[in-house]
Structure 1
C-alpha cells in the first residue's frame, strides 16, 4: 500500500466518512449513525475557527477514502493535563494489515503534537482481538475500564 495516503479530511470527504462510520458501527454491532451525520461532522470539523473535532482520512492507491480516524482534545483530571482522545479509527476490510493503520496512527500522533499534546488515548471493544494486537504492536498500553453512556433529556422534555 505504498501509494496510499493519509491526510486531513476536506468537506467533500464527509459523505464518504459518514458511510465509513456506518460500516464501523455495523462492524462493532452498534446502532447506525444519525442520518445527517455528514452535516453534523461538518459543523464540528469546519464550522468554527478552532475545530472541535479533527478527522484524518486514509486513501488507497486509487485515491478512494478507505478509512478514517477522528480525535479531539480532552482533559485528564487525574493528570491535570490535556490529551488527544481518538474516538474512532476504522479501515475497510481488505485494507487492514498493509501498514495503513500505522500510517493513520502516525497522523493522529502528529495531530496531538501539533496541538501541543503529549498523549493519545482511545478504547476498543474487548472482542476486537485484531485491533488489540495492532495497538499492542504500536507500544500502546491498555487500561481496563467500562464505558458508560447516560442519555440526558433536553430542558422541557419529560
Structure 2
C-alpha cells in the first residue's frame, strides 16, 4: 500500500501459485493501482519493485500479471519495468512476465521508500 498523509493512494495485490508444467512457484500481480492524482511520482514503480522483492524472497521463478489491451499506459509502465508480454487475443489481455535475470534485477533494487507500507507526501 502507498498512502499520503490523508488517504490511500495506491496498492498492489500479489498471490502465489504453482505451475504444474515447470514444477515451480510463480507469482501473480492481481492488481496494481495508483490514484490518478498521484500518478507520475514513481509510486507504481515502487509498489512493483516491492512485489518483485517479495517474489524473490519467496523463491518463485517468475512474476506475471494481465493488462487489458486497451490500457496502453499500463502496458508501457510494465514494459519500462522489463515485462515481456504476449497477447491473448481471445481474452483481449496482455500477459507480461518477468523471468530470471530481469526478476532478480527488479527484486534487488534497494529503495528505502519501498517497503510494506510506502508513504508518499505530496
Q: Where in structure 2 are there 5+ consecutive unaligned residues?
A: 92-122
**TM-score, with length taken from structure 1:** 0.53
**TM-score, with length taken from structure 2:** 0.68
Q: Within the alignment, does 1:123 sit opposite 2:77 as a pair?
A: no
Find the counterpart in structure 2 of residue 59 from structure 1. Answer: 3
Find the counterpart in structure 1 of residue 24 from structure 2. Answer: 81
Measured at CA, do residues 119 and 63 of structure 1 come closer, stay the same or move farther in structure 2, by a change above 3 Å?
Answer: farther
Q: Within the alignment, does 1:111 sit opposite 2:54 as a pair?
A: yes
Q: Which has the larger radius of gyration?
A: 1
Corresponding residue SS for 1:108 = helix
Structure with a larger share of its residues in strand: 2
Corresponding residue SS for 2:60 = coil
Structure-1 separation of matches of 2:67 and 2:40:
17
Structure-2 separation of matches of 1:124 and 1:101:
14
Corresponding residue SS for 1:142 = coil
Q: Within the alignment, does 1:134 sit opposite 2:77 as a pair?
A: yes
Bigger relative contact order, structure 1 or 2 (CA pairs below 8 A, ≥6 apart):
2
Structure-2 separation of matches of 1:70 and 1:102:
14
Q: Within the alignment, does 1:94 sit opposite 2:48 as a pair?
A: no
Query: 1:80-131 CA deviation, whole Å, 9 max, x = no partner?
Result: 2110111111111111111111100011011112212131100011000000
Q: Where in structure 1 are there 5+ consecutive unaligned residues?
A: 1-56, 148-158
- What is the count of residue pairs matched by the alignment? 91
